[in-house]
């Protein structure tokens, strides 16, 4: 129990927010999926003769473009999810408007991945602990405009004493994602917003005081 809030309450609040802003979240998720599909389709085009994939400078440009678009969409999704949890309507106005926002999110994501990988190299268990401890970093950037490094420190402070509760939420969401396999991928249009909203709910209740 986190400050009197159960995982069930987090999922329930996430589902409520999703239903009340169904059109927005479906469109946002569609854009994320479309960017990924377009990128993989682009780099997977075969040339007529040698069957090589798109690479070199063009491949790098496509990768940078995909990265920027996904940073924009995911950071926007986190901001909107937090606003919905706080009782507001989803709005495209909450999406990041400056390159600085995306840079902070990019740096924070790279640092988070490196920490998680370090945990895997040492032992699997630290990867889960550190992954949970620093798992709220996107919301620190989305809500507090923290830079990449500070967002990780702020996440560690916010989750102090509650890592196992957040880990349990991660586990529940992971089980839900496994179930999506049986929906031929269509479940991702529900899972991605549900994941973002549930995380926003935990973040909000850990930091509201």
Domain positions in the chain are: 7-207
Residue 169 pLDDT > 90, yes or no?
no
4 φ, ψ (degrees, to nearest 5):
80, 15
Q: Cα angle vertex 197, ends 206, 178, to 5°? A: 115
Residue 52 pLDDT > 70, yes or no?
no
Q: Give this prediction's pTM.
A: 0.87
C-alpha distances out from residue 181 to 36, 177, 187, Å: 18, 7, 8
pLDDT tens-digit readout, 90-148: 999 988 878 899 999 999 999 999 998 888 887 777 778 888 899 999 999 999 989 98
């Amino acid at each position: 129990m986190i400050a009197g809030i159960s995982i069930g309450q987090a999922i329930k609040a996430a589902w409520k927010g999703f239903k009340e802003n169904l059109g927005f979240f479906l469109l946002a998720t569609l854009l994320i999926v479309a960017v990924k599909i377009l990128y993989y389709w682009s780099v997977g085009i075969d040339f007529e003769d040698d069957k090589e994939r798109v690479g070199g400078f063009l491949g790098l440009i496509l990768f940078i473009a995909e990265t920027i678009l996904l940073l924009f969409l995911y950071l926007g999704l986190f901001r909107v999810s937090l606003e919905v949890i706080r009782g507001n309507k989803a709005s495209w106005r909450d999406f990041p408007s400056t390159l600085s926002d995306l840079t902070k999110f990019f740096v924070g994501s790279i640092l988070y991945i490196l920490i998680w990988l370090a945990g895997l190299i040492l032992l699997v268990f630290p990867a889960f602990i550190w992954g949970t401890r620093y798992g709220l970093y996107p919301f620190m950037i989305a809500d507090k405009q923290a830079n990449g490094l500070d967002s990780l420190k702020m996440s560690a402070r916010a989750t102090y004493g509650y890592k196992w509760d957040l880990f349990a939420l991660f586990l529940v969401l992971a089980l839900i994602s496994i179930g999506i396999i049986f929906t031929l991928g269509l479940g991702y249009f529900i899972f991605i917003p549900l994941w973002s909203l549930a995380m926003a709910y935990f973040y909000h209740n850990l930091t509201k005081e």
